[in-house]
Structures are given as structure tokens and as C-alpha cells.
Amino acid sequence: MSDAKTTHFGYKQVPIKEKAGYVRGVFDSVVSRYDLMNDLMSFGIHRLWKRQMVALSGVHRGQRVLDLAAGTGDLSERFAGIVGKEGEVVFTDINAAMLNRGRDRMVDAGVAGNLHYVQVDAETLPFPDNCFDCVSIGFGLRNVTHKQRALDEMFRVLRPSGRALVLEFSHPVNSPLAKAYDVYSFSVLPALGRLIAADEDSYRYLAESIRMHPDQETLQTMMEQAGFERCDFFNLSGGIVAIHRGYKL
């Protein structure tokens, strides 16, 4: 951040008040091809990453889960199946187009009853203190303007003994992988975006936003600053992705 009035949008500096609008524009642009691009970009491995996150959550029947930046609902769908009709999953996204896309996808998949949809900003959650057993955010934290505020809010709405999980692109753990990942991110991803989604710029932003996201140790420290305890993280695919977990004790 170059001064108190700007923040990063990828590698660019933009006014803090305008970042959310830029991010909204990215997702408005890619929403129709979002799921297809996720499969192509990750070779389908994103489904395994999400499955691992759900397994690490320890969520069980009858619990209440808040899924932030839920997108088209991969995590919400899994959580809904686990908590059952006695539980509840609150499916949220700041982007109306993504929220509507996700809701349509859940209806088509026959997932209903224990899912509720709310458009929210992760920095200012409209929920009371101590009301969720688990809060998750998958591939969304890097797009939040004030990440520490979002982590603080996640801690606030968790019940004692609750846990938060952050699934996010991270930093590869060895140099050869990091170099190969850079080539893929800045050459292949924008090309895929151009060919499949007719939007090269949004996928270049994706690569840049990943590089601007805190590394594993820094994000763990941020979670501890929010009040989480027993914080740990799990590197997946050599650190290309990491799952962070913290508890409210």
C-alpha cells in the first residue's frame, strides 16, 4: 500500500473506496464461465482442495455454518449435506451476480431446506456475536480490501469452540515450483481467460492478486491477531494452495 488512501488491486494501486467495485467488475465479467474456468485452471484439483477443507472443518450434523465468498456453492453444498435438516448453512457472497448464480446452481442440484442466501461484505457481517459453529471462506480472502477486518469479523460471529477455515491460493514452498507456477500464472491463465471467458484482464488480475496475498506464515499471524488460537495451516499442491484453520476457544 503506497499511502493511507490507496490499496492494491492486483499490482495496481487504487483508491480504497473503489477496490470493491473493481473486484465486483471482475466477477460480473467471469460469472457465466466461472465453474468451467475453475476446472480448466486447476485441472479439476480445486474439488480435492475443497473436499480437504471440509474434512478439516470438523463440521457435523445439526451445526450452523457461514460460508463467505461462496461463489457458485461448492463448499456450501458439501456443508449442507453434512449438517442435514437439523443444521443450517448461510450461503453468502458480496457479488449479487455470483450469489444468484450459486442459488440457481443449488436449486438445480436439489439442495434446499437448510441453505439460506445473504449478500454480505465479509468486513461487516450482519450477524450477531457467537452464532456459528464454523465460518469458511474459499478463494475469497485475497479479494477483500481489509483482510484483518474480515478475520476479526469471522472470529466475532463464531461460537466458543467454533473454528474458521480459509482456503486460498498461497506461496509455493520451493523455488523450481514457484518459477513454473509464475510461467503458468502469467502466460497460461490470461490465455485461457481470453479463449474461454473472453476476458484476459480478469485472469491476469487473478494471478496478480495471488502474488499480493500474504504468505502462509503471515496469514497465520493475522488469524492469531484476530483472536484465533491453535492456528495451523496445511499446504496443498506444494503450497500453491493452503488451508488455514483457527479456533475460538
pLDDT in tens, 3-17: 468 999 999 999 999
Question: What is the pLDDT confidence band of residue 222, given thresholds at 50, 70 and 90?
Answer: very high
pLDDT in tens, 39-58: 999 999 999 999 999 999 99
**Pairing outcome for strands 132-138 and 158-169:** parallel
Binning the chain into helix, strand and coil, the percentages to the nearest 5 are: 50, 25, 25
Do residues 16 and 7 make contact, with C-beta atoms less than 8 angstroms apart?
A: yes
Question: What is the pLDDT confidence band of residue 24, given thresholds at 50, 70 and 90?
Answer: confident
User: For residue 118, what is the DSSP state?
Assistant: E
Q: How far apart are CA 17 and CA 28, in angstroms?
A: 18
For the ranges 1-5, 160-164, 177-181, 189-193, which has the lowest average pLDDT?
1-5
Question: What is the pLDDT confidence band of residue 2, given thresholds at 50, 70 and 90?
Answer: very low
Do residues 241 and 181 make contact, with C-beta atoms less than 8 angstroms apart?
A: no
Alpha-carbon distance values, 246 to 13, 96, 100 (Å): 31, 29, 30
> Buried (b) or exposed (e) across 18-28, using 16+ Cβ within 10 A?
ebbebbbebbe
Model pLDDT, residue 113: 86
110 membership: H or E segment, kind and range = none
For 130, residues 6+ apart whose C-beta sits below 8 A from its C-beta are 157, 158, 159, 160
- Which carries the bigger pLDDT value, residue 230 or residue 198? 230
CATH architecture of 6-173+205-247: 3-Layer(aba) Sandwich (3.40)
pLDDT in tens, 67-125: 999 999 999 999 999 999 999 999 999 999 999 999 999 999 898 789 999 999 999 99
Model pLDDT, residue 4: 62
pTM of this structure: 0.94
Model pLDDT, residue 1: 38
